[in-house]
Amino acid sequence: MANGTPARILLIAGSDSGGGAGIQADIKTVTMLGGHAMTAVTAVTAQNTLGVDSVHMIPTQMVIDQISAVVSDIGVDAVKIGMIGNADTAHAVADSLSDLSCPIIFDPVMVATSGAVLADADTISAFERLMRLATLTTPNLPELEVLGGRQAVLGRRIPLLIKGGHADGDDIIDQLYLAPGQSESWSDARIQTRSTHGTGCTLATAIATGLGQGMELLPAIERARLFVRLALLDAPGLGQGHGPMGHQSVREDAMVEGPSLNQVTVGCSDYAASVGFYKALGLQQIVHSPDNGYARFEVPNGVTFSIHQNDDSATSTVVYFESKRLDAWVTELVSEGYVFEQMPQDEIWGWREARLLDPAGNLVCLYSAGEHRRYPAWRI
């Protein structure tokens, strides 16, 4: 957006009184990704982590009035559609959005994480119009079956991101289908947590935010998937059932293209004394590897700081700059004449790193780490 104006994201969805999914999750996602969230509430639910107790549908005209009020005054850069509630509202929403030229992400919400049904047969039939209108439709596996099954939905030749979280196995595979013969997939290890309420809402909204900010579809999906995974890792563990994710703890440095300065390693000659010193300063230790003489700390804004025992501590300082587009960044620097001591390579600790010296001889590491920066496998 020009002059730093945030992307304007219209969220059409139901309210979740427990704050885990729906409009509440959508607003948190847009806000943490730097957008401006606007809403058209379709339903008010009484729910918590254990389930949905009751649902009150907002009259169709009121839903449309909310959309009209936002579009006519503030404007919209992208739309996310979640829970609709009834067929009349679905058709009216389709009518109201048909003249918009911005990206539209449709998350066909039908069943809550708790199992509560949130869409009847007539509403599901009306989803056909919204799917044809959408830039991307994002069903999970149960929703895909209700829509007619994989082959039937793919036969409609609509852009489709099939979320694989409901499948069995240790890995979650999400599959993108844009056109016949044009597909993409992503696979990541399943995060073992019961705090999964709102994952679908969050993913769809994060994609919409990215598109509204001018990102291409694939990078928007990749950033959205990373945002969801970090929010799962940061989940606060609230409630007795399927708890909310930790949107509020996802740090911006993992989301931006970079470069971001967020990691420095300094040398030490006495591992135990140095660990004690930095803990006394108030830093939280997140990696403890005395055999390697290595410890990493974290501060409240998500920045990490490390010590590494070295006989020559004066030469062991390394400054780290992170970028999600590491390889392209290094290619650009090489074309400008900069010489790297190490070209980008995958390290055993989960980072991809490249190294070079600055004009004064200081060691600089350019890297990409994603969730592994704050959440390595060996995190305390």
pLDDT tens, position by position, 84-109? 988 999 999 999 999 999 999 999 98
The helices-and-strands tally (H runs, E runs) of the chain is 10, 17
- 49 is an active site residue: no
Nearest residue to 189 (alpha-carbon basis) of 3, 370, 10: 370
- 196 is an active site residue: yes
* CATH number for the domain that contains residue 170: 3.40.1190.20
- 201 is an active site residue: yes
User: Does 293 lie in the same domain as 241?
Assistant: no
Instruction: Label residue 2 by pLDDT band (50, 70, 90).
Output: very low
Rg, C-alpha atoms of the chain: 23
Q: How is residue 266 annotated by DSSP?
A: E
For the segment 132-160, the average pLDDT, to the nearest whole number, is: 91
Lowest mean per-residue pLDDT among 63-67, 321-325, 326-330: 321-325
pLDDT per residue over 197-213, tens digit each? 999 999 999 999 999 99
Instruction: Label residue 18 by pLDDT band (50, 70, 90).
Output: very high
Residue pair 252/303 in contact by the 8 Å Cβ criterion: no
Integer Cα distance of 230 and 191 in angstroms: 10
User: Does 180 lie in the same domain as 127?
Assistant: yes
Integer Cα distance of 296 and 378 in angstroms: 11
Neighbours of 195 (CB within 10 A): 24
Catalytic residue among 29, 89, 138, 199: 199
Q: According to the model, what pLDDT value does residue 261 have?
A: 85
Alpha-carbon dihedral 215, 217, 219, 221, rounded to 10 degrees: 120
Catalytic residue among 196, 202, 265, 304: 196
For the segment 130-140, the average pLDDT, to the nearest whole number, is: 95
Burial class (CB in 10 A: 0-12, 13-18, 19+), 36: middle
pLDDT per residue over 164-174, tens digit each? 988 989 999 99
Nearest residue to 320 (alpha-carbon basis) of 345, 294, 352: 352
Catalytic residue among 18, 20, 22, 200: 200
Integer Cα distance of 49 and 131 in angstroms: 29
Neighbours of 185 (CB within 10 A): 11
If you search the block for the tokens 């030490």, which residue do you land on? 268
User: Does 76 lie in the same domain as 187?
Assistant: yes
Residues in Cβ contact with 176 at an 8 Å cutoff, skipping those fewer than 6 apart: 159, 160, 161, 162, 183, 184, 185, 218, 221
- Alpha-carbon separation of residue 149 from 19, 152, 182 (angstroms): 31, 5, 19
Catalytic residue among 18, 113, 201, 243: 201
User: Does 288 lie in the same domain as 186?
Assistant: no
Integer Cα distance of 31 and 29 in angstroms: 5
User: Does 232 lie in the same domain as 295?
Assistant: no
- Which of 189, 215, 250 is the last residue in one of the domains? 250
pLDDT per residue over 180-237, tens digit each? 888 999 999 999 999 999 999 999 999 999 999 999 999 999 999 999 999 999 999 9
For the segment 52-69, the average pLDDT, to the nearest whole number, is: 96
User: Does 277 lie in the same domain as 220?
Assistant: no
If you search the block for the tokens 């957006």, which residue do you land on? 1
Catalytic residue among 18, 82, 89, 163: 163
Number of domains in the chain: 2
User: Does 360 lie in the same domain as 305?
Assistant: yes
Integer Cα distance of 30 and 26 in angstroms: 6
Catalytic residue among 198, 212, 243, 258: 198
Pull the structure tokens for residue 29: 């996602």
Integer Cα distance of 29 and 220 in angstroms: 13
- Which of 250, 269, 285 is the last residue in one of the domains? 250
Residue 117 has pLDDT above 70, yes or no: no
Lowest mean per-residue pLDDT among 54-68, 81-95, 241-255, 346-360: 241-255
Lowest mean per-residue pLDDT among 121-125, 248-252, 283-287: 121-125
- Count of alpha carbons within 13 angstroms of residue 39, beta-carbon side: 18
* CATH number for the domain that contains residue 354: 3.10.180.10
| Percent of the chain residues topping a pLDDT of 70 | 95
Residue 38 has pLDDT above 70, yes or no: yes
Residue pair 239/48 in contact by the 8 Å Cβ criterion: yes
For the segment 336-355, the average pLDDT, to the nearest whole number, is: 94
Pull the structure tokens for residue 237: 């563990």
- 163 is an active site residue: yes
User: Does 166 lie in the same domain as 140?
Assistant: yes
Residue 312 has pLDDT above 80, yes or no: no
User: Does 202 lie in the same domain as 67?
Assistant: yes
Helix or strand holding residue 271 (H, E): helix 271-280
Pull the structure tokens for residue 19: 């704050």
Let me know if residue 378 belongs to a domain: no
Instruction: Label residue 68 by pLDDT band (50, 70, 90).
Output: very high
Residue 30 has pLDDT above 80, yes or no: yes
Integer Cα distance of 224 and 27 in angstroms: 14
- 45 is an active site residue: no
Task: Look up the domain containing 298 and give its range.
Answer: 260-372
- 199 is an active site residue: yes
User: Does 367 lie in the same domain as 220?
Assistant: no
One-character DSSP codes across 166-181: TSSSSEEEEEEEEETT
